[in-house]
Each structure stands twice: as C-alpha cells, then as structure tokens.
Structure 1
Amino acid sequence: MMESPFPLEPTAAEAQAAIAEEFAFFGDWSERYQYLIDLGRKLPAFPEEWKSEEHRLLGCQSMVWIVPEGNAQNLRFHAISDSAIVSGLIYLALRVYSGRSAEEILATEPTYISDIGLAKHLSPTRSNGVAAMLAFIRDTAKAQS
C-alpha cells in the first residue's frame, strides 16, 4: 500500500475545515486556481499501467483515472488527471475521503465544495467531473459497507 501524500486529519470533517481555512487565505479566484494547480502537483506518481480504460473515470471532460484499494475499515483512492486544475480537485477530494472507513465516507457530504466557493467557479463540465468522482468514491464505499 502506498503512503498518503495528504495531511491526514483525524476525520473527514476536520479535513474539510482545514481546506476551507486554507482557501480563506486567498483573496481572489486567480490565486485559488493557482493553489489548486499547486495541490495537484502534490499527487503521488500514478503508475502508467493504471492509466487504462478499466480505471478511467467517465463523466469527466479531462482524462481522469482512479483506483480504489483497501476495505470497509480503510479505503484509499489513487487518482490522477491530465489537467492541472482537475488534479487539484482530485487532491481535495482524496484529502477528505481517502484513508477513511466506508461508513465515514458515506456519512460525509462534500461541504468543502460550497465552503470554498468552488461550486460557483467551476465550469459545468468540471462540476460534472467532480460529481462523477465523488459518486465513484461513494459507490466504492457503499460496495464495501
């Protein structure tokens, strides 16, 4: 199992609060987009053999691959995109949900999206992609619980 590149807050709720706090430091959306791009660069290396149709997330305009591992007590997700901003969005979702139990994943609504104003600043296709990624994470947790 690969090590987590994310600061692992004790709970998903605390991870969401930390994300909201970090984004509050930035005055405008150009700075927030740059921060998202910087976060995306922190994603760990993603094995080339995982970049297959089997792991491709449908519903995203960009190419996104996501691989789950673990069990109901500890589900981890590995993901990457060919888009810098989408990679940042992946980083945020994995920070909240990866390394959590299926029960905690299912009990945690992604409030960080509205808390940081992301919902208003994503194009419809990016919003659809984020929704597809969150649905994949929830569906994986449901299948494990």
Structure 2
Amino acid sequence: MNIHAAKGDITTRTTAIIDHLKHLEGALLPILHEIQHEFGYVPQDALPVIAKELNLSRAEVHGVVTFYHDYRDHPAGRHVLRLCRAEACQSMGGDALAEHVKTLLGVDWHGTTPDGAITLEPVFCLGLCSCSPSAMMDGEVHGRVDAADLEALISEARR
C-alpha cells in the first residue's frame, strides 16, 4: 500500500489491476477493492482509467465509489476504527459512544487524527447485533464495547 504514488504510477498500477480482473462478470467492484488494497484508497486519478477500460462513464465509476462506504477517496490513518451505526448498536448506547470517540480523537466521521494514527469511520452493521454496541479496529471485531474498551483500543493503536 503506497499512499504517495505519482499519477503515472497510479495509471500503470490501475491498468495492471484492471487487466487482471476485467474478465470477471461485474468486474467494477473487485477492481475497486483491489485498487483500494493497492493504494489504501481509490485515487481520483484511477477513475478515468477504470471508466475507459470498462467502457463506463466517469460518473458511473464515481457513483459506485461514493455509494459504498468501504471505499475511501483519501488515505486512511495507520489504523481504522469503525463504529457500528445500526439500530441495535444505537439502542445500546452507540450514539453516546460515537460522540465520546469523536471528542477523544478530535475528528468527525471519515476523519484522521492529526498524527495520522487513526481514521474514524461509521459502518452500518458489523453483524454483532446481539453483542451491541460493536466496533472494529483494523478488521478485528469487538462486541459489547463501552467507553473504556474504546479508549483502550485507541491507546493501543497510538503506541
């Protein structure tokens, strides 16, 4: 994952990813996932390349990138903290936890702390409704979290 790729490098690497995956039915989503894996986000410079290679409009590609919450249009921090925003988690105190974490980190949704350590993202269900509220740090899911649990996760990520 290289977040500082030059435009030409983005084009070259994006084209290689597309060439590898364009044979798939519904190739756009796998291509976007692979591009995000490669760069850590979906660079704006990749969108016209994808559109051209898949015979789509730039607007279609942009629409897909902005519709799905998993895609980023900018680099994330070294760690990504996702808080569940679904109804079950909200009913178990998720809103108050979210406000606490936003204050603790000093960022809003999709923001990254000034030190580049943590990006905060909302997610609309982690599948742990019976263990609400839930969070995910770097792909690891945590259920029945409270303020102390989240503070510990954040502290660990900043080390």
TM-score (norm 1): 0.32
> Where is the helix percentage greater, Structure 1 or Structure 2?
1
Larger RCO (CA within 8 A; separation ≥ 6): 1
TM-score (norm 2): 0.30
CA radius of gyration, larger in: 2
